[in-house]
Structure 1
Amino acid sequence: MSDTRHRFWPIFLLLHAMMAAIHGEDCFHPQILPHKLSLLDTKLDLSHCNITRLQPSTFRTYHNLQILDLSYNALEELDFSVFQFHTTLQRLDISYNQLRTINCSTLQYIRGITHLNMSYNYLETMFLCKEFAILTKLRYLGLSATRIDRYDFVNLAHQELETVFLGLEHLQHYESGSLQLLDTEKLHVVLPQTSMNTTPLYNDFNISTTLELSHILCEETCDLIVEDIRKIIQKSKVSKLILSDVTMPWHEMIEILSISWRSTIEHLSIYRFTFIKEFVYEVIDFSQGSLKSLTVENVIPQVFLQSGEEHPLHMISKMFIENLTLSYSELSYFPCPPWPSIFRSLILTNNRITDGIFDGCSTLPNIQSLDFQNNVLERLSSIASMTSTMKSLKYLDVSGNRLYCDFRTACQWSQSLLILNISRNKISDSIFNCLPTNLEVLDLSGNQLSSVNNGINHLKVLKELYLSSNQLSHIPDCSHMSKNLIYLNIEENIIHSPAKEQLSKCQHVKRIIAGKNTFQCNCELRSFIRTAEDLHESLIGWPQSFTCEYPQDLKGVMLKDFHPSEISCNVFILVGLIVGAMVVLLVFMLFLCKYYDLPWYIKMIFQWLRRKYRIRNNNNEEAMMGKCFHAFISYSQQDYEWVTDLLIPNLEKGDNSIKICHHIRDFIPGKAIIENIIESIEKSYKSIFVLSPNFVQSEWCHYELYFAQHSLLGKNSDHLILILLEPIPQYLIPNKYSKLKAIMKHRTYMEWPKEKGKHGLFWANLREAIKANIPLEE
């Protein structure tokens, strides 16, 4: 139950936070938190939970907690001793609460903290007590207040920070030189929106090499804002300036850009820029300046008018800067510079750029890196043609577009291109016939490749090949690839049963990533597993990422733990065992046949079952009419002893259940022998003939058999029982007994067994054959 509770904990926490926002409840309750959080999670988000207080035992059981977000709650006081058991805590966000004071004596319990955000609370001053000096690992500090005095940061004077955030929207008082006590690489300031004198504050922005100014808003008159930024740029002497959350007309932004161009700033970044009013093209000389890179991301245009003959983008294309980034800016094109440009890197990602970009453009001789990631490009041949004039191009990223390769169109690439990323497109197998020959790194992940054809032979210097998330059903033949190949990624394909040879051919590749495929664990995979274990040093992710997908009962089992039996996989062993078992069984059957005469027993049982079936299906009432005996016996006088000593006693047994017609006792005196024979056969249910060589020589047996041939055999052959007392060669039977020959040849007869152990079954079978409900009369 606890595992299930933990699995759905993030969803539960989110729902509870929503309910708290609606009802104003405290969502931070000890019994709400999962008890196994310390074993599985290092991050806990409790923002927007309307928390008013923390108890000392609240986080006691969560020993692995590293990141805790308590922002946007209602904390009025905070005792850091609640974290005394959390030596791993590194990031703590308590911004946007109602804190008025900090319990400085308990700061020792978070001495390992690296990121602490206390901004936007009810702290009137930024004074940091002496206990802040023990936070020697602190790298990020977020603060806000309405007043900053001279020595507020004195206890951080010896701390080397990476970033300091100051939310100063409501600042009322600033004492000159206060920020000079801070030592930080980056200063992020939300500019004051009050009417105070900001000159002393702006003069102190020179404490870092990176300065970020946020919430720059001017919808009507922007002269004061532009002038303030001018002062900041001129006096701060930063090398990297970041402007975020900016709303202003394009004209004022161009003015700020012009000011930055003629300053010490080398890198200018503008994030979340909403420009209003007119989109004006202005002629500005950008040929001289210190700016090396310009980044503009997340542009929200609210402009419906454009003045000037050219689009403002033409002005940007004329800039003499090395690196330009225009991302999330809703661009559909970017103009080719009118004269040779010094652009080295162009990043135009997450826009709507289409085919035709830089078509025939020859003014980018210095471009080395070009990034068109996540646009709407379609024809790969157009991209290739675009690069043919870029003699210095080394890196091209066109991932996340709609590119396809038309094998009928030739591809003319820049010969200097070394790294090509065409991942997440619609590329098919024909791509290998349309690639630049000097590539060292090729990324074709997330396409529609089903195989790697011999076209890859042309990439003689290829070092890295990415083929993940395609439709490959086998490992590519590395023997057709460059001998310089050191990295191959083929994970997340549909490779079911890779052969040993496929992996062996990639032994020269130092790093192979082939996990997360749909491996089918069968006998064919054994050789691959053995090879993989031998190459485990170069097979990245082995064995954790190599698991069975099929069959279902083995899903999730690591390949190294898959050990099928040798018998189930080696057909020769299996056939040998089957043949051996059959031979043993055959020898055993022969032994039984030789020593126990098993066929004879089977034959007798079969005859017994057959007779039982026939008796059941015969009309017994009609067959019993006028019968006085169960059987008439015909035999040679030479076999008299066997009949009288064995046959009759074992059939009758003195219980009157079976009555035999024997001529010595049952023939009527005074009648002719022939008449007695005919009458005895007619009154008997069945006739038993004891066959032997003596039988053939007996004259009376001839008469009896003759009558049986013409009387019984023609009517119902089931009433005739032949007992072979001794074997009779066919040549001894006279030709006039042709009917007997035919019967003995095609009809089943009972053989008298010489072994005494078989006599019981013989008599039981014979009694069953003649048993019938005959109304016996004395």
Structure 2
Amino acid sequence: MIESVSNLTRLKCLDLCNNNLTSLNHSNVSLPKSLTILYLCRNNLSTLGCEQSFLGFIQLLDFSYNPGLPTMAFQGVDLSHINYLRLRSTNVKVVEFLNISNVNAGHVDFSGTHLKNDSLLIELCRLLKRKRKVKWIKNMNLESNGIENVTNKTLSSCPNIRGALDLSRNELKTTSCLNFLNGHTQLNRFTAEYNRLTSLPSCKTPNMVIFPNVKTISYRYNRILSVNSHAFYNTPDLKTLKLNINKIAYLNITALKGLKSLEILRLDNNLLTELFSDSFADQIELKTLNLRNNRIAAIFERTFHSLKKLNILDLGGNKITHFASSGLDGLESLSKFYLDGNNLKTIDTSLCRVFQDTLTVLDLQSNQIRFLTEHTSSPFMNLSKLNDLKLDGQRPYGLTILPRNFFRGLNSLSPRCLHDLKSLKFLTLDNCCVGVTQLQPGIFKNQKKLSKLIVENMVIQNFSREVFGDLTQLQTLQLNRNGMQSIPVDALESLPKLRYLDMRTIPLTCTCTNTLLQNWTLNNTNVQVVYLYNMPCPNNRKHNFYNFDTKVCYIDLGEYLFLSTAVLVFLLTFTPLLYVKLYWKMKYSYYVFRSWFNEQWRRIRDKEENCKYDAFISYNSSDEQWVMDQLLPNLEGNGSSFKLCLHHRDFELGRDIVDNIVTAVYGSRKTICVVSRNFLSSEWCSLEIQLASYRLFDEHRDVLLLVFLEPISERQLSSYHRMRKIMLKKTYLQWPGSNCTDPTQAQELFWNQLRKAIGTGSRVETKENEERKGGVNLESKETEGFETHNSDENYYLLP
């Protein structure tokens, strides 16, 4: 196994736990230098069997739960780079291990290493202090060692503990006001969870040791019954105190005296029955107070009067029936208030008076709140910042009636009772308004920020765009257990952010009324419809809503859809093919028709002898210099009597360019196309060669000559089908470049061949006729230096 990771040069973490390893024998193979974290827990290691440097680069090493791993297995192994070493539930004797190892003792986790008595702990501390590298320890974890008692001598020999000391999961019955930590005054965190503490004594004694740096103390999961006066007097700067999950029934009125810096206090899950006016008198910096799941029945006068900075107060899961008139005084900064699971029957306006400008969360679910009349003033007046309100699950009948002005002042709920809740993001009304059968249009018109709405078990009969269409930010909608038989799709489509829809046990009919809804639930990929495939048809439990037969709803429409789809597919399939094949033919016909209509070309075609020009030169403007310097002098000059038609010289000014091109092509005996890469990319040049090629193929007139100015590969010509067809039927010439052996002779031969081609008749002749009439003789000496190729009807002439 070790060999398989040796080549992973970027590996940083390797977990080999639960593999039944018995040794780390590696056959001279080393671990990657990048590997710094190695987990070897829960194996059967009885030896390491590795070289001294095998673990030399590891920083975090876990050998826990290898019960057969002995101390001597680490003899000579390099652990100098270890930052954290865990030896829990092994057979390693820690003191002996530290004597034979080069590990930094301050980086060893001593939890679960059998340090159960004072003598072992004292010996460990002395050993730690003797090591030069360990003058102080950041953290010391003595968890799960079975320690029953700690005395003033237990840790007195240890280096100074500056960080955290963890004595959790031992057998401690007392911590003696932390006096056993005398000398460790820089301690920052003390934890003694899962022990057997039954009481926290008073720590205001003449000989008490002050721990000014302790910021956190946790006594969770003990058996504490009482907390006596000044129990934390020697830790005056404490910020976090966790006393939750105990059996505290008695909290002395001065138990928390002196804790003026406390910010978080956990007293939840205890047996407290009452709170006194001075119980939290010194906690002026407290921000979180958790008293959930106690047995508090009432909040008396001025209980929280000193907690002016409190943000979170959790009184859920108690037995509170009422608040004294000044019971919540002092909570000027309260943001989140949890009162769920109590026995409140009414909501007094005094509940919100003190913190009306700061409260954002109010949880009143699972109380006994009930209204018997619609004419009830709002207890939430002026709670403009409230964005999370829970009122569901009122025992035993729900709210029964939702008063018209119940939520006034919240800026959001019904045309009359929800309009003020403008900042509301989460609203739960399930089980609270049983009997509400008709929701009025516009009830949620101001809930522009609402993202989750739960309206289960309200016997709602209508779901429409007018009622729910204003919830543009709604993401979660739970409609379970209501009475509507259909849900219009347009109402759901008016919720653009909807992602989760629960409509289980709604009696949606499996009829044509819900055909669109069925299609929407199956095809809408943006919305998760809960248990869609388990929703039965109410009138036939053997069928499900998602697949009930809808054929009867589309008797005629299906046939029309099929025909229209077939026609559309046919058009989409053949239109591109027709376009590619006939585009230029149609365009040519259009231009010819235009010219015919203007009576421009009818008389041009009457007789060849009436042609005005010997040749029309089709070229791209980029090749104009060659045309002017080479072609014109050799065809119109040097004794030649040909008359050429050129764009810039012979086109009629002010006339449509298409008409000029048609007149030029049909007014010339020949069309010479000067082909180059620029020519191929020109639409006008393409039109000119198309017109000439149609005269060639359709009128059987030999009117087209191709002159290639530069070599053009087959791949570049592959998309010009018309030109390739011409090349297979006609002679074409290649202008000899400077790379020829004798360019002067090659060019002279080129011009002779071109003059002969222009001088031939326009009627298409066969090879035999051309030879009889003295046409181009490919066997003559003039073709010397040219390569000839046979074609179907003629020859290619290539230099």
Q: Name the TM-score class by shorter chain.
A: 0.3 to 0.5
More helix by proportion, 1 or 2?
1
How does the TM-score come out when normalised to structure 2? 0.46
TM score, norm. by length of structure 1: 0.47
